[in-house]
Amino acid sequence: MVLLHIKHGDEDQFLLKETCSTSIENLTQEVTKIYNGRLKVQRVCAEMESLAEHGIFLPPNMQGLTDEQIEELKLKDEWAGKCIPSGGSVFKKDEIGRRNGHAPNEKMKQVLKATVEEAKALISKKQIQANVCVTIDMVKDALDQLRGAVMIVYPMGLPPYDPIRMEFEDKEDLAGTHASLEVIEESEAQLWWAGKELKKTNQLSDYVGKNEKTKIIVKIQKKGQGAPAREPVISGEDQKQMILFYHKRQEELKKLEENDDDACLDSEWADSHALKRQFHGVKDIKWRPR
């Protein structure tokens, strides 16, 4: 199995294993699904952390308004009475004005936060250091865990406009957000390796040969962005070690230059009578009392 280290720009994403006979078209689809799936998990986790702190999303026409403005406009949150967290709620006002402030109690809050941490760990970039490959099934498992936690805390469900529910139903609207810039549609996705675009009409073996023990760094990006920057010959960590070694060497040379040129005359090897004293057996004689 060929080990692919997937990157986007200079950022590590995940590891993936594929056979040499895999078509680039199928590989591109799989990499894109995992890449976008990880982004979805991260978006859901961020919203669930907010859900745990401030409760469900307010209706769009009430978001950002003060209590006085809501009262003046006679607006009402019809879903607040339906979407009550298990065990009751604790009021914690959302200063941003996105959520209604009726947060779950401490026990239910911990259910949401613990699940968020587990889901993050499942698709984390740290899996690369652990040499663990991320699959589309792992991404689905992370989403299922998050969905299950929400159902435990909110058995009646979330409002249809809540971003968490919309993410679970694949109805999320990312238009005009930073998240929309990160997502790469399958039709626009390209894979690059060693400054070469991996053509979808080819197989992986056309680029890496038939050695199943190969490891390569593959970069995913949108069409039309040109070739991504190639990987540096020396890694960042190796470069740090080289700089540290050079600095230590410079300090050593500096100390040698500062030493007196005659300092070596005090050394034993510079004593012209050392051999004579050794033959006479008078070496290492001390004249002071011990």
What pLDDT shows up at residue 70? 84
Residue 259 has pLDDT above 70, yes or no: no
Give bridge partners of residue 91 from the DSSP assignment: 102
**Nearest Cα to 195, choosing from 219, 211, 212, 214?**
219
Tell me what percent of the residues of the chain surpass a pLDDT of 70.
88
Between 269 and 62, the more confident residue is 62
Alpha carbons within 13 angstroms on the beta-carbon side of residue 156 total 12
- pLDDT, residue 213, reads 87
Number of neighbouring beta carbons within 10 Å of residue 31: 23
Q: What tokens does 94 get?
A: 């959302």
Phi-psi label, residue 260: left if phi above 0, alpha if psi -120 to 50, beta otherwise:
beta
Place of tokens 């050394």: 267
Per-residue pLDDT band at 21 (split at 50, 70, 90): very high
pLDDT over 80 (residue 271): no
Write out pLDDT tens, residues 54-87. Answer: 999 999 889 888 888 888 888 988 888 889 999 9
Number of residues that make up the chain: 290
**Containing H/E element for 4?**
strand 2-8
pTM summary value:
0.78
Residue with tokens 């991404």: 139
Q: Where are the alpha helices (DSSP H) in 55-155?
A: 67-73, 106-122, 136-153
pLDDT bracket for residue 222 (50, 70, 90) = very high
Across 188-192, 212-216, 280-284, the highest mean pLDDT is recorded for 188-192
Contact of 40 with 143, CB cutoff 8 Å: yes
Q: With CA atoms as reference, report the closest residue to 187 among 204, 206, 200.
A: 200
Which of 1-5, 87-91, 244-248 has the weakest average pLDDT?
Answer: 244-248
pLDDT of 117 > 80? The answer is yes
Write the pLDDT tens digit of every residue in 31-51. Answer: 999 999 999 999 999 999 999
pLDDT tens, position by position, 139-168:
999 999 999 999 999 999 999 999 999 999
Residues 161-203: pLDDT tens digits? 999 999 999 999 888 888 899 999 999 999 999 889 999 999 9
Distance CA(160)–CA(147), nearest Å, equals 14
**In which band, very low, low, confident or very high, does the pLDDT at 270 lie, cut at 50, 70 and 90?**
low
136 closest CA partner among 29, 22, 48: 29
